[in-house]
Structure 1
Amino acid sequence: MTATATTAVSGSSLRNTVAELAADRFTGRRVGTPGGRAAAAWLAEQLRAIGATVSADGFPAVVRELYRTPELRLGERELVHRRDFVEHLASAELPGPRTGELVTATADRLGGRWVLAPDLGVSARATRDGAAGLLVPRGTDEAGWMPKMIAGPPAGDLPVLAVRAELHQQMTVGELVTASMPLRTVETSGSNIHGRLRQPGALDVLLTAHFDGVGDDPGQRLSAAADNASGVAVVLEAARLLAGSLPDGVGLAVALLDAEEAGARGSAHHAPTVAPGTVVLNVDGAARLGDAAAVEAGGPAHALLAALDQAGRETGVPLRAGAMASDNRRYAAVGLPAVGIGMGMPGYQTPAETADRVETDTLVAATRLVAATVRRLATSVTG
């Protein structure tokens, strides 16, 4: 990368994109919500502003949705959602509060009682006996938050609440438990936003990042700044830099993907339509670099990995092999050379995942790494 290309990265533009996507009006950008659709429309405008030909592509998605804040009381003690307990995605819907005595999973009688269970292994017996529901343990992040998820196992027949592990250990058999779980399954639709900046040639590069988040809780913001407003900002800025600087014969496109948080449905819809041989770089999280960027490769990615390694050395971004369970896997699964790049998500899927925690230096480093990788690939093809 030349010195001019390096200094052309705009930290202010990167920060502004993160702040905009994390704003209140997009309500956490969950697939199928007005906020998610508004974010897609705003991103289409940003792609047009850098010269892309833009299109949208819709697809179905299914999510689990809290429509009220769930409650959990131990006797007179009111516990705090997302600090002391969270929804378990295997839970049945329980719209209103249900009260019952707390018993262990080995108790003789479970009917009408809340069962303190180590896991879901007791579900069949608890359902058969007519238990009020299950309380199972779950850990927290380093700040004591319990992250939100909107896709996972199918709903079962019993209400299930995941309780902070330390609290779960301290709960007393015989005390009264009152709980609700207003959690429903919602069939909705998402929309990927595509931008073509350069026509395909001997090499075609696709830059991807998902723009959806898990969405706000009722009464509580989850702005999804790190996951993945940061990755979207990097892809937009890298595309802007590359659009006018790549040699002839190198194509460039962007896919801003919806419903990654709902099981990577957007990339699953898109990947089978991508031309064979297209090289895919996916960015999921570019908020706090730490010791090194995590990289996962799939498909016939030898040349892509070589270019990425050279780009890391060139830009001074340390790389390490690490799991990237993101949209890159959908592209690799259809036989495309694909890498996922991640540089940290402080506050991941909690109210603490705010725009002020996204580091500008990390955004700039990720942009330089992506741009340098594409330029290395272009040089290997065009000489």
Structure 2
Amino acid sequence: MTTGSEPAALDRLLAEVSGERMVATVATLAGDPFEGRRVGTPGGAAARAWLARQLEGIGATVTTETFPVRAVPDVYAAPIAEWNDGDIAHRLTFGRDFSVHLASVDAGDQPKRGPLGLAGADDPTGRWLLVPAAMALADAYEHAAGALGLLVGRAVDGDGWHFTMLAGPNPGRLPVLSVATELHERLVAAVGGGAASWSASSPIRRVDVTGANVHGRLRTATPRGVDLLLTAHYDGVGHHPGLRQPAAADNGSGVAVVCEAARILAAGLPSDVGLSVAFVDGEETGALGSAHHAGQLRATDDQPLVINVDGAGCLHEAAAVEAGGPAHGLLAVLDRAARHTGLPLTAGPVASDNRRYAAVGLATVGIGAGMAGYHSPADTADRVEPETMVAICRLVVATGWLAASDATKLSSLIGDRR
């Protein structure tokens, strides 16, 4: 049970949380040498090595675990697109006006030109077909025999960018480009004039790569001691040719929080409490790194309490929390920590690595607090709020400390099993 002196001890730990240190971590991870940290790239490997050094610097025993990642989308050259309304050629901007759809085949880096048409209405042969808003892509293929490619309308974010995804549909049989909604509507209107044309390339391939998780063991639990596992994914969607995507909030901010929380908890927990960190790879390709790690934990019957942070960039009214596995006790401790630190919480969803750990039966909470510029060039270090990282880090530290100090309350009253 906690005593009157223990909250004071917790407050001393919370006072050590450094926003400046976390800002520096985010700035480093979002820097050019790490190239957006896509799984299987030199930038990802450089980030992994840097993170290993940070963990070693706070006293962790560091190991890495590799795993295969199949068919990662790779835009290997800067795509080109323009359209002609019959009088004027309009050169378009990759990432803003258009992007390469995940369903696209690799048609090379040389543009293909042809008249514009409407899928389901015009002869497809030799045309770029605009897919009507009400038509599914699968249905558009039924009207696309002999077409040069398909153009699908897609909303851009508040900064005017298409967001990049690495997990999605398999490639179909044609080039497919996403076009900003307003431009798509303009092109549909231009088709009626009969003179509109489109020219574009779709240089996208799929590559098989190797991902790698970084594990740091800071403390080993006694047989009856609490074991804490702090996790965050360090990979991003990566740069495209001519398009820098730094992945500062997603998830440089989460990594920074976990680094800082681990540093503080390593020195502040009772001697019987275990503490480890997992910086996992491949989250953007389907949470493959956490799936690999969760499988290892299940195979060895390790049962840590898992706290995952994905996005600590821009807190609005409350931090999102998603609990999974036998987490009622852990969730109760998280609620106590939030009350102690003054951070409002709201129920999820946090669709991240926490779900992989929960799926193997581990008590898990996922925490998220906003990502400005999600999966785009707008996800820059200057948009990550230091005060948000401080608030989330304080929450993680308090949760870990309270869990260790009052382990009897981690067992659920409604039948959970750890």
Q: TM-score, normalised by structure 2?
A: 0.89
1:265, 1:23 → 2: CA distance? 24
Which of 11, 14, 18 does residue 19 from structure 2 map onto?
A: 11
2:73 aligned with 1:73: no
Structure 2 SS opposite 1:13: helix
Task: Provide the C-alpha distance between the structure 1 equivalents of 2:43 and 2:121, rounded to a whole number of angstroms.
Answer: 46
Residue of structure 2 in register with 1:64 after alignment = 73
Is it true that 1:88 corresponds to 2:101 in the alignment? yes
Q: Which residue of 1 aligns with 2:266?
A: 243
User: Does residue 1:280 correspond to 2:306, yes or no?
Assistant: yes
Match of 2:158? 142
Worse-superposed segment, 149-158 or 32-41: 149-158
Residue equivalent to 1:325? 351
Distance (Å, rounded) in 2 between the aligned partners of 1:374 and 1:258:
23
Shift of the alpha carbon at 1:3?
Answer: 2.7
RMSD, matched Cα: 1.3
- How far off is 1:8 after superposition? 0.5
Q: Is the 8 A contact 1:247 1:382 kept in 2?
A: no
Query: Does the 8 Å CA contact 2:14/2:397 hold for their aligned counterparts?
Result: no
Match of 1:255 in 2: 278
Unaligned runs of 5+ in 2: 1-6, 410-418
Question: Which moves more between the two structures, 102-111 or 302-311?
Answer: 102-111
Distance across 1 between alignment mates of 2:253 and 2:245 = 14
Quote the residue 1:188 is aligned against. 209
Give the Cα separation in 1 of the matches to 2:291 and 2:221. 22
TM-superposed CA distance for 1:108, in Å, is: 4.4
User: How far apart in 2 are the matches of 1:64 and 1:123?
Assistant: 22
Say whether residues 1:98 and 2:115 are aligned partners.
Answer: no
Distance in 1, matches of 2:408 and 2:137, equals: 56
Indicate conservation of the 8 Å contact 1:105/1:122, yes or no.
no
Q: Give the counterpart of 1:35 among 43, 61, 74.
A: 43
Find the counterpart in structure 1 of residue 179 from structure 2: 163
The number of residue pairs the alignment matches comes to 382
Within the alignment, does 1:124 sit opposite 2:124 as a pair? no
> What amino acid is aligned across from residue 122 of structure 1 in structure 2?
D
Q: How far apart in 1 are the matches of 2:328 and 2:243?
A: 44
Judge conservation of contact 1:126–1:133 (CA < 8 Å) in 2: no
Q: Map of 1:368-379 to 2, 5 A cutoff?
A: 368-379=394-405
| Cα distance, 1:205 vs structure 2 | 0.9
How far residue 359 of structure 1 moved from its aligned partner, in angstroms, is 0.8
**Could you tell me which amino acid in structure 1 is paired with residue 295 of structure 2?**
P
- What's the counterpart of residue 225 of structure 1? 248
Per the alignment, residue 214 of structure 1 pairs with 237
Q: Which amino acid aligns with 2:285?
A: A
Q: Tell me how far 1:248 sits from its aligned partner.
A: 2.5
Residue by residue over 1:81-114, the C-alpha shift from the partner in whole angstroms, topping out at 9 and shown as x without a partner, is: 1111111101111112111111111224111111
Query: How far apart, CA to CA, are the structure 1 residues paired with 2:13 and 2:256?
Result: 17
Gapped regions of structure 1 (runs ≥ 5): none
Name the structure 1 match of 2:412: none
Match of 1:356 among 369, 378, 382: 382
The answer to whether the Cα contact below 8 Å between 1:111 and 1:126 also exists between their aligned partners in 2 is: no
> Per the alignment, in what secondary structure is the counterpart of residue 37 of structure 2?
coil
Residue 276 (structure 1) shift: 4.1
- Name 1:197's counterpart in structure 2: 218
- Kept in 1, the 8 Å contact 2:119–2:140? The answer is no
Q: Which has the larger radius of gyration?
A: 2
